[in-house]
Chains A and B, each alone.
Chain A
């Protein structure tokens, strides 16, 4: 039991759990939605990824833990294939999840954080997200199969069948309202709303946390400058969401669940919504303790935990560590490498439009292609910086203190 707890503590270290979640996401898409096989070109990429984790684990110990968990998950998912969407399997997974969650309550450190009144809805949210993702993907998988067999999605078989709002819809709504009222009443009686001491502007709590739905943004502050994490990126999230219907011109999959017809859209959206946004909120809520240090779910939130500050900027890494020279005085020269890297990253779309993504470019047209790929690159900058920070202690790629500009 202790071993298992220690194992989970290591696994949930932000870096590991994030890599595991991202890889799992890839596995589910490949093995369970696209019906890929282990013994194929694509399958060998996933095995190669596991081997890469093992090799990396030889240098960075916790990655070995990751490799073990990854192989378990990958083989499990590859073995299940389409059966992951069987109701029986789904119920079992949910059962295991719920039992695991409540058994964890026996651990005093876990209980302390997870049973905080304000954290209860977030615990429920984890399960709700899991259940609804499963339902949506199950329906998509079943419809995909129908379409592939030359049929029509299940929803289409009912298009022409119309029901009277009274009684069918009105009764459903009525039942929903009654059920929700009951749930809310029981919840409100069972759990008191938190109230701490009266506000005192002179004594700040540790950790000081934003409301839970903004903890993803607060977690982003670890990896980005406040100007980016606090203002520009949240703005771009909203802009990006609003731009979705105008960038996505795929006419298929309108009004029914499907995956194969909309692989890219759904893949990108699910990655952003589940693996980035929800994961960061859950991390920020349950795993970030005093001084915003990282704590495993079964670890005590020790306010005196010492974490060595070893983060370095790219400029320091290149000039001092690799070239063995002092940092140049002028910032354009000092930050040359970082700036080139960022320019290279942002000029990927025009480069890719020439050859590999020509198909997309022609289909979407220049405006949609460039706006869409810019938003996508900005989104992907977050996981890239997260991994760079954890594995290489890289702080900023470009750090121009003179202009208050960091990337």
Chain B
């Protein structure tokens, strides 16, 4: 044991280690405070938290779990992007290649199951926050940010659903997007859309309504695939990341992990 301890001391006191971790082993309260304050990632946290905020039985760890799934999705998604081309010629065959050729390839599996798990984790997080009344003042705004993040999570999963370009994908998106046709005022089958006219010409029709805008065509096709790919890989993650930063920031500013006042 003594030699292990000596080795540890040696490593921690080396110039390399000290250049990265300023504090050393956080074995005193002062060092524990400094460890959290001095680290970009750890300083998402306050230095001290309420005891109930640490308990798994109180928080269920679901917010953190959701964020962790987001990170899993980012990493596995990035790896998948190396193999995948969002065109109708290649999309399906690229996924096939990934499935058949990549040795030990579980990145697609992890990405898909992670996506499902993330949706469930978000719901459970919302459930917990509701049951502990943590949306009440001063946290009203953060609850709203959370609701938007929930919707974005669903949209992320929805846009990703199309990318394998198999039967499951296009028909799920066909069914899922067909409702946009009925948007009041903006879908060609929606109420009031018939009233938007220029003389006798209807301005809202299948070639320019809300569904057309969503999928980039009259039916699911090459344009939809590219559109959903860009939304899935760039646009929505950026917005979600931005809102997550706000979400976490506000948790801190509104008094940390909720607890009785």
Q: What are the residues of chain B within 8 A of A250 when measuring CB–CB?
A: 136
- Does B9 have its Cβ within 8 Å of any Cβ on chain A? no
- Given A201-B219, A242-B144, A405-B191: A209 and B175 interface contact (C-beta under 8 Å): yes
What is the CA–CA distance of A254 and B106 in the complex, to the nearest angstrom? 43
Mask for A243-260, Cβ within 8 A of B = 1, else 0? 011101011111111100
What is the CA–CA distance of A394 and B258 in the complex, to the nearest angstrom? 46
Q: What are the residues of chain B within 8 A of A201 when measuring CB–CB?
A: 170, 219-221
- Given A197-B166, A199-B169, A255-B261: A166 and B61 interface contact (C-beta under 8 Å): no
Do A184 and B57 touch across chains, with their CB atoms under 8 A apart? Answer: no
- Given A176-B68, A244-B143: A170 and B174 interface contact (C-beta under 8 Å): no
Q: Which of B99, B114, B191 has the most C-beta atoms of chain A within 10 angstroms of its own C-beta?
A: B191
What is the CA–CA distance of A214 and B176 in the complex, to the nearest angstrom? 7
Q: What are the residues of chain A within 8 A of B92 when measuring CB–CB?
A: 198-199
- Does A60 have its Cβ within 8 Å of any Cβ on chain B? no
Chain A, Cβ-Cβ closest to B175: A210
Q: What are the residues of chain B within 8 A of A252 when measuring CB–CB?
A: 133
Q: What are the residues of chain A within 8 A of B187 when measuring CB–CB?
A: 231
Cβ 8 A contact of B42, one of A124, A170, A232, A255? A170
- Does A94 have its Cβ within 8 Å of any Cβ on chain B? no
> How far apart are A275's CB and chain B's nearest CB, in angstroms?
14
Q: What are the residues of chain A within 8 A of B245 when measuring CB–CB?
A: none
Do A176 and B64 touch across chains, with their CB atoms under 8 A apart? Answer: yes
- Does B110 have its Cβ within 8 Å of any Cβ on chain A? yes
Interface size classification for chain A: 35 or more
Mask for B196-226, Cβ within 8 A of A = 1, else 0? 0000000000000000000000011100000
Cβ 8 A contact of B179, one of A158, A165, A197, A230? A230
Do B259 and A255 touch across chains, with their CB atoms under 8 A apart? Answer: yes
Which of the 9-residue segments A49-57, A132-140, A350-358 touches chain B? A132-140
What is the CA–CA distance of A158 and B58 in the complex, to the nearest angstrom? 12
Interface size classification for chain B: 35 or more
Chain B, Cβ-Cβ closest to A143: B260
Chain B, Cβ-Cβ closest to A273: B127
> How far apart are A260's CB and chain B's nearest CB, in angstroms?
13
- Given A155-B58, A208-B175: A169 and B166 interface contact (C-beta under 8 Å): no
What is the CA–CA distance of A84 and B95 in the complex, to the nearest angstrom? 48
Do B167 and A199 touch across chains, with their CB atoms under 8 A apart? Answer: yes
- Given A165-B46, A184-B72: A214 and B61 interface contact (C-beta under 8 Å): no
- Does A200 have its Cβ within 8 Å of any Cβ on chain B? yes
Q: Which of B58, B65, B69, B171 has the most C-beta atoms of chain A within 10 angstroms of its own C-beta?
A: B171
Chain B, Cβ-Cβ closest to A258: B133
- Does B26 have its Cβ within 8 Å of any Cβ on chain A? yes
- Given A121-B113, A159-B259, A167-B32: A136 and B175 interface contact (C-beta under 8 Å): no
Q: Which residues of chain A (84-136) have a CB below 8 Å from chain B?
A: 118, 121-122, 124-125, 128-129, 132-133, 135-136
Chain A contact residues: helix, strand, loop or mixed: helix
Q: What are the residues of chain B within 8 A of A149 when measuring CB–CB?
A: none
Do B166 and A196 touch across chains, with their CB atoms under 8 A apart? Answer: yes
What is the CA–CA distance of A184 and B220 in the complex, to the nearest angstrom? 32
> How far apart are B214's CB and chain A's nearest CB, in angstroms?
12
Q: What are the residues of chain A within 8 A of B150 when measuring CB–CB?
A: 241
Do A199 and B128 touch across chains, with their CB atoms under 8 A apart? Answer: no
What is the CA–CA distance of A266 and B172 in the complex, to the nearest angstrom? 33
- Does B78 have its Cβ within 8 Å of any Cβ on chain A? no
- Does A218 have its Cβ within 8 Å of any Cβ on chain B? yes
Do B168 and A196 touch across chains, with their CB atoms under 8 A apart? Answer: yes
Cβ 8 A contact of A195, one of B99, B157, B161? B99
- Does B230 have its Cβ within 8 Å of any Cβ on chain A? no
Which of the 9-residue segments A72-80, A185-193, A295-303, A312-320 touches chain B? A185-193
Do B179 and A173 touch across chains, with their CB atoms under 8 A apart? Answer: no
Do B57 and A139 touch across chains, with their CB atoms under 8 A apart? Answer: yes
What is the CA–CA distance of A168 and B174 in the complex, to the nearest angstrom? 48
- Does A4 have its Cβ within 8 Å of any Cβ on chain B? no
Chain A, Cβ-Cβ closest to B259: A255
Q: What are the residues of chain B within 8 A of A37 when measuring CB–CB?
A: none
Binding site for A on B (CB under 8 A): 26, 29, 32-33, 35-36, 42, 45-54, 56-58, 60-61, 64-65, 68-69, 72, 88, 92, 95-96, 99, 106, 108-114, 116-117, 119-120, 123-124, 126-128, 130-137, 139-140, 143-144, 147, 150-151, 154, 157-158, 161, 164-172, 174-176, 178-184, 187, 189-191, 194, 219-221, 258-261
Binding site for B on A (CB under 8 A): 118, 121-122, 124-125, 128-129, 132-133, 135-136, 139-140, 152-153, 155-156, 158-159, 161-170, 172-173, 176-177, 180, 184-185, 187-189, 191-201, 203-205, 208-214, 217-218, 221, 225-227, 229-232, 238, 241-242, 244-246, 248, 250-258, 262, 266, 269, 273, 403-405
What would 19 more interface pairs be, CB under 8 Å, given A173-B64, A192-B99? Answer: A135-B60, A136-B131, A140-B131, A159-B259, A163-B48, A163-B49, A165-B36, A180-B72, A191-B113, A193-B108, A195-B168, A199-B220, A209-B171, A210-B176, A230-B180, A242-B143, A245-B137, A255-B258, A257-B132
24 examples of A-B residue contacts, CB within 8 angstroms: A136-B127, A158-B50, A163-B54, A164-B29, A166-B35, A169-B49, A172-B54, A173-B64, A188-B113, A192-B109, A195-B96, A196-B167, A198-B165, A199-B169, A201-B170, A201-B220, A227-B182, A227-B191, A229-B179, A230-B179, A231-B184, A245-B136, A252-B133, A256-B260
The 7 A-B pairs of least Cβ separation, nearest first, read A230-B179, A245-B140, A188-B109, A121-B116, A158-B51, A253-B133, A210-B176
